[in-house]
Chains A and B, each alone.
Chain A
Amino acid sequence: MMTCDEAEILIHALADGELDAGHAREVEAHVANCPRCASEFAAINEMKRALAGTDLIYKAPAALRQRIEAELPPAQPSNVTPLAGAPSRRSLLKGFAIGSAVSALAATGLVAIVLRNDDQQRIEAEIVSAHLRSLQAGHLTDVVSTDQHTVKPWFNGKLDVAPPVIDLTAQGFTLVGGRLDYVDARAIGAVVYRRRQHVINLFVAQTSSTERRAAKLDTLQGFNIRSWRDRGLSYWAVSDINVEELNEFGERFERAMGGSS
């Protein structure tokens, strides 16, 4: 049974349509039986409605738009006639119109509530699925090599940022190869290691934050996950090896990264 303390923050997520179906039902059930949380929920929705009905956007001044446009290299080579440029201009304007219509819809809450997992959990679930996929015959590696100088260049051109590839053979983790994978609707690099008969997939994705985030250990569907963030890259090491060994893998990797720069 959900308590008011638990519901306090979750009713905001409910009002924002951010809860997955299970949590939404739980919070709704609590709100239905708790007058205090029900009035809180009503107040949140009332405020959201009032805000949605008010234009709180600051329109960018035309002069600012022109200054930014002027900084951009010309979109078309100069030998193209102005006529050819016109449609793209129009399609840009169309983009604006659609954009604001969608925003208005989203703001009034008419858009269907998106049911989804918690962010971290969802990505970790995708990481584990990708790990499981990779274990099927023939799916583990796109490039097979125990040589980091073969694996790393293979990623170049396939991803905007090639994942760091580090040879940890001397530390007991054999580099097997690399693979392109898809997680969170993005292409992502996976570097594959082996420890005895166990596979370790190290997923590496670029992140907008350059803030370092210390390692976190999780278990999902029987797999251990060690995730951390460093120098603008997010890492997830996934394996069925025990958590101590996976942690050792991550520590050795991080140490090698630290030493290499």
Chain B
Amino acid sequence: MPPSPDDSERARRFREAALPCLDDVYTLARYLLRNPADAEDAVQECYLRALKHFDTYRGPAMKPWLFAILRNVCHAEFARRAVAPVKALDDAPEAVEQAPIWQEIAETPEGAVLRERNASAIQRMIETLAEPFRETFVLREINNLSYREIAEAAGVPVGTVMSRLARARAMLRAAWLAQEEPQ
């Protein structure tokens, strides 16, 4: 059955608005889920949900809206993975302060790869940050969202965004320096 003109117009608008964000959405999914296959599934699910709810989208910024949806999808994925205890994304900052800096032991390969401080080494360092800090950091430094947009996407006050970002940078710098020491 051919699509109705309304459907194809809607699909066209969705394509133009949402598809240019695909790399950004995929990037966030990779950092949140730390696994290419899960990230692909989450992004596909995110776009399906976004299309379904496109009528409720009110501009101007597409990215925070897609990120908020992706975040919900990832939440579901975390719930599914409940085998290992995973911290909720919305933990109160106080509780977060008590959290261990490293959510998992950083697998630090020997030698030159890390010392080069190349993209994949930095990506791995970022991936070792605990969840809420990693999310805030990636949204700011890699997805280039403003504090306000991060607050919107993550559903937290701007003040929380600011404190998480400060913590994330402190943790990352510690990891960064630790890595330089062997030289």
Name A's B-contacting residues (CB within 8 A): 8-9, 12-13, 16, 18, 43-44, 47-48, 50-51, 54-61, 64-65, 67-69, 71-78, 88, 92, 95-96, 99, 103, 106-107, 114, 118-120, 160-161, 185-187, 206-209, 211
The residue in chain A whose Cβ has the minimal distance to the Cβ of B172 is: A47
Instruction: Report if A9-B122 is in contact (Cβ < 8 Å); known contacts: A76-B8, A119-B151.
Output: no
Name the A residues within 8 Å of B114 (CB-CB): none
Bound form: Cα–Cα A13–B15 in Å: 34
Name the A residues within 8 Å of B57 (CB-CB): 160
Name B's A-contacting residues (CB within 8 A): 2-3, 5, 7-8, 10-12, 14-16, 19-20, 22-27, 30-31, 36, 39-40, 43-44, 47-48, 51, 55-60, 64-65, 68, 90, 117-119, 122-123, 126, 140-142, 144, 146-148, 151-153, 155, 157-158, 162-163, 165-166, 169, 172-173, 176
Instruction: Report if A71-B51 is in contact (Cβ < 8 Å); known contacts: A18-B146, A54-B119, A56-B123.
Output: yes
CB of B71, distance to nearest CB on chain A (Å) = 9
Name the A residues within 8 Å of B12 (CB-CB): 75-76, 88
CB of A39, distance to nearest CB on chain B (Å) = 12
Name the B residues within 8 Å of A77 (CB-CB): 2-3, 5, 8
Q: Determine whether the beta carbon of A208 is less than 8 Å from that of B65.
A: yes
The residue in chain A whose Cβ has the minimal distance to the Cβ of B13 is: A75
Q: Give 14 A-B pairs besides A72-B15, A209-B68 with Cβ atoms closer than 8 angstroms.
A: A9-B162, A12-B162, A18-B147, A44-B169, A47-B173, A56-B123, A56-B142, A58-B23, A60-B22, A61-B26, A64-B22, A71-B47, A73-B7, A99-B20
Bound form: Cα–Cα A77–B9 in Å: 9
The residue in chain B whose Cβ has the minimal distance to the Cβ of A57 is: B27
Bound form: Cα–Cα A135–B131 in Å: 47
Q: Determine whether the beta carbon of B23 is less than 8 Å from that of A59.
A: yes
Bound form: Cα–Cα A63–B36 in Å: 12
CB of A45, distance to nearest CB on chain B (Å) = 11
Bound form: Cα–Cα A24–B56 in Å: 36
CB of A166, distance to nearest CB on chain B (Å) = 21
The residue in chain A whose Cβ has the minimal distance to the Cβ of B40 is: A64
Q: Determine whether the beta carbon of A54 is less than 8 Å from that of B118.
A: yes
Bound form: Cα–Cα A62–B148 in Å: 31
Q: Determine whether the beta carbon of B8 is less than 8 Å from that of A208.
A: no
